[in-house]
Amino acid sequence: MDVLYFAWVRERIGLPKERVETSAETVRDLVAELVAREERYEAAFADLSALRVAVDQELSDFDAPLGDAREVAFFPPMTGG
Amino acid sequence: MVQVQEAAFDLGAELDSFGTGLADMGAIVSFTGVVRDVDGGLEAMEIEHYPGMTAKALEAIAADAMGRWSLGGVKIIHRFGRLVPGDQIMMVATAARHRKDAFEAAEFLMDYLKSRAPFWKKEHLKDGAQWVAARGEDEDALRRW
């Protein structure tokens, strides 16, 4: 699946988008896999309460099942308007 | 109904075209967000967004407003990219037969745009840059609807 990062999450991880091969069942499982990779992921995902997630471009939550999701995006709380 | 763009928009022209064909609507309300300087120290406001999701999220918010109030139309324009103080960031407009629906729907749109549309603002100040943090009161504002 494609994993996207925005705002300071993108800056901490150092890239806007990457292709990830995973069998994670939930968003939280996917985060655990990413955090286990490298320190920069650990830094970005240190406080999940400061993050929001979208699955296939719809706002979701960390316990959501990934199913056949094609795109998961992580970002800080939005500041539109 | 929804436009996401880097370019500036002409508020007067947008409102004129929004009102065209809405002769049975007695009230048109609009709100425009403008980049505000911070004690003379803001050089630019960078607005990032999630291209695949932004238009869909705005359309869903607009459709929600159409379902809650009796409206003749809704318009949302939101910019992204690098803006400077005084630039218009976004606008919403609502048309209704009576002003109460138009005002309330415009406030609803603004509250949802703040916290549920995938935009992020970064302030470039004279002495460095920082991401604008979401405020708890913005989240609280959603609960009244």
Contact list in A for residue B131 (CB cut-off 8 A) is 7-8, 76, 79
Q: What is the CATH number of domain A2-75?
A: 3.10.20.30
Q: Residue B115: which of A4, A54, A78 has the nearest Cβ?
A: A78
Q: How far apart are CA A52 and CA A78, in angstroms?
A: 8
Spatial neighbors of A47 by CB under 8 A, at least 6 apart, are none
Contact list in B for residue A6 (CB cut-off 8 A) is 48, 50, 118, 120
Q: How far apart are CA B36 and CA B22, in angstroms?
A: 33
Q: Tens digits of per-residue pLDDT, B5-48?
A: 999 999 999 999 999 988 899 999 999 999 999 788 999 999 99
Would the CB atoms of B113 and A77 count as touching at under 8 Å? no
Which residue stretches of A1-81 are H helix?
Answer: 7-13, 27-37, 39-44
pLDDT value at position B73?
A: 96
| Interface predicted TM-score of the whole assembly (ipTM), two decimals | 0.95
C-beta separation of B91 from B30 below 8 A: yes
Q: How far apart are CA A41 and CA A14, in angstroms?
A: 9
Contact list in B for residue A4 (CB cut-off 8 A) is 50
Would the CB atoms of B116 and A59 count as touching at under 8 Å? yes
Which residue stretches of B6-83 are H helix?
Answer: 11-19, 51-68
* Full set of structural domains in chain B with CATH: 2-142 (3.90.1170.40)
Q: Tens digits of per-residue pLDDT, A6-65?
A: 999 999 999 999 999 999 999 999 999 999 999 999 999 999 999 999 999 999 999 999
- A interface with B, Cβ–Cβ < 8 A, is 4, 6-8, 54, 57-59, 71, 73, 75-81
pLDDT value at position B40?
A: 80
Least confident interval from B36-45, B57-66, B104-113: B36-45
